Amino acid sequence: MSKSKSSGKLSTHRSTSKGGANKTTPGLTQLSPLPPDPESLIGYAKLLKLRSKAESTQVDYLRYVRRIATRHGGDPSELTEAQVREHILHLKVEHGYSPSSMRTAVSALSGYYNQHLGRAWKLFDLVSSPSAQTLPMVLTREEIARLFSVVRTPRFLTVFRFIYACGLRIGEAVQLEVGDLRIEGRVRIRLAKGQKDREVPVPPAILQELREFWRTHRNPKFIFPGVGRGWRDGVSAPASLATSAEPMGVGSIQTCMRLAVAAARLPKGTVVHTLRHSYATHMLEEGVSIRLISAYLGHASLETTLVYTHLTAVNEASARDAIARLLPPRPTVASPVQVSHLLPPNTK
């Protein structure tokens, strides 16, 4: 049984015990062992790897299949289509799953039963979980400046400014490596959504900030290395960053954003991803081509990017100005005598 680094006391959590969930320790209540995955689920895990699903997607899919196995108390491969249908309805009605969670659950179960077990059930084609068509939250330029002004920790300020300046997802920003800054004026975003690399233009000021922050720790791999728990053992923050083998934790960035939103009195619902939405909207306001913005954001379809055209008043004003420039001057209204030769002859 391992000790907590913060308190020095024995930890009772299974994940901290050497030997896994089944190990017992004198004086502590024995935790019930986790049931092993059935062969069908082990095979499904291999299929997900073969299909090169993102690691987070693999975890989600396996969790949803384990959930139906736990609920029915057996191998999920033995369930009928009717039982799976009832389970999906249970998630929707009893648990109130959001449309996004329902789509993930259905995709997980469809992959398990249809693709892995070859059932060819029509059930999964019948489930519909459309999301409400809401517009994303966008901050004004003044609000962006106010947000940055309240962040005092250099690593969080740098990552926030980097995300906004390049329109990145939080997971893309923390994975930035030293070699990704070698192309002058651009930054390489590796293995983004859809396992695709892309290059995004980066302002010189942000490039300088990234390099200056890296010089504070000189980690051989990451621009934003994780602090880890070394500082709790007396290791200085720069030393901990310099030797870290993991990138900065997403959770710590989200926590800092919540505190900054409160301090800057920003609108409710502002999150780290709001910086990406704001980037796209402000780029449109500056007249940057929507096709370029779509490429910078890494969108697979231009339709995804078009939502930002509804978020900027500048675009509407520009459209009005463009139409005004295109419209020819109204001709002087002629008198009836002047246009009489253009009228059809009187047939009376």
Residues that are catalytic: 169, 193, 273, 276, 299, 308
Instruction: Enter the tokens of residue 63.
Output: 């969790």
What's the CA gap between 84 and 76, in Å, rounded? 9
- Rounded alpha-carbon distances, angstroms, from residue 281 to 113, 164, 167: 42, 11, 10
Question: Cα–Cα distance between 321 and 316 in angstroms, integer?
Answer: 9
Helix spans in 244-289 (H): 250-264, 273-285
> Hey, what are 140's tokens?
């004004």
Pairwise CA distance, residues 300 & 336, whole Å: 59
Q: How far, in Å, CA of 54 to CA of 51, rounded?
A: 9
Query: Which phi and psi (to 5°) does residue 10 adopt?
Result: -70, 140
CA dihedral 15, 19, 22, 26 (to 10 degrees): -90
Inter-residue contact 32 to 45 (CB < 8 Å):
no
Distance, CA of 110 to CA of 124 (rounded, Å): 6
Q: Based on DSSP, count helices (H) and strands (E) in the chain, helices before strands.
A: 15, 2
**What residues are paired with 188 via a beta bridge?**
199
Q: Which residues pair with 177 in a beta bridge?
A: 222
Cα 207 to chain centroid distance, Å, stands at 23
Residues 6+ apart with CB under 8 A from 133: none
